[in-house]
Amino acid sequence: MTKAPIAGNRTGRKLGQRVKNKKMKASSRQWLQRHINDPYVQRAQLEGYRARAAFKLLEIDEKHHILRGAKRIIDLGAAPGSWSQIAAKVTGSTDEDIRVAAIDFLEMAQLPGVKILQLDFLDPTAPEKLLEAVGGTPDLVISDMAAPTTGHHRTDHLRTMHLCEVAAQFAVEVLGEGGHFLTKTFQGGTERELLAMLKQNFRQVVHVKPNASRAESVEMFLLAKGFKGRKVEGDAEKA
């Protein structure tokens, strides 16, 4: 069971610490202060995860069991790599038998059992390279992608929703039957076309807000479970 962090911790760091560097901008100081006092950040350091985001995936899995039985996983927007760490563990991926492929335009330090592509997912060569890297048909596609923010809420929402749509289309094209797709989205309305497409291709589609996702954040996750499989050529004619 994935337990929520509690006030006490074993990192040797006290909660409630203040950042006293007066040379920093107030906004930067507040962000750093929140970060170092975040119990999920401290727990990630304690348990060896690269980021607190690990607990978002673990909490979603605790309820929806998307990692259970996964043999190959593709991780989109993977940096710094905490989801890939979990993926490598659950699939038993090794450098000799790669079962996890990760992609991000940001540089990522190497991870055992993970093939890392430093490439924009919107690059037309990305889908083929990911499939080649993972070494077979994936059971799970996970995406923590979000467009770089501009400060304009509507623009940021639309750009991230575009990434959701592209990731969803990719998942439909590569997943094995029964596979799952998880993607970050923002509160403010998932596009109807995207929801309709997912409901057409998956047995269950739900929105999830794990406890590890900060309450003040507009971030949510869209989970599509049980891929129905692709129609083979000729099915449309028989229907």
Place of tokens 């929402």: 157
pLDDT by residue (tens digit) across 97-140?
999 999 999 999 999 999 999 999 999 999 999 999 999 999 99
pLDDT by residue (tens digit) across 158-206?
888 899 999 999 999 999 999 999 999 876 655 788 999 999 999 999 9
The Cβ-side half-sphere exposure at 202, using a 13 Å CA radius, reads 27
**Rounded distance between C-alpha atoms, residue 9 and residue 179, angstroms:** 37
pLDDT score of 19: 42
Which residues have a catalytic role annotated? 184
Tell me the three state secondary structure of residue 190: coil
Question: 144 labelled as ligand-binding?
Answer: yes
Question: 31 labelled as ligand-binding?
Answer: no
pLDDT by residue (tens digit) across 143-153?
999 877 777 77
Question: 123 labelled as ligand-binding?
Answer: no
Question: 83 labelled as ligand-binding?
Answer: yes
pLDDT by residue (tens digit) across 185-198?
876 655 788 999 99
Q: Which residues of 9-35 are buried (b: 16+ CB within 10 A; e: fewer)?
A: eeeeeeeeeebeeeeeeeeebeeebee
Place of tokens 């540089």: 107
Structural domains in the chain plus CATH codes: 51-227 (3.40.50.150)
Question: 81 labelled as ligand-binding?
Answer: yes
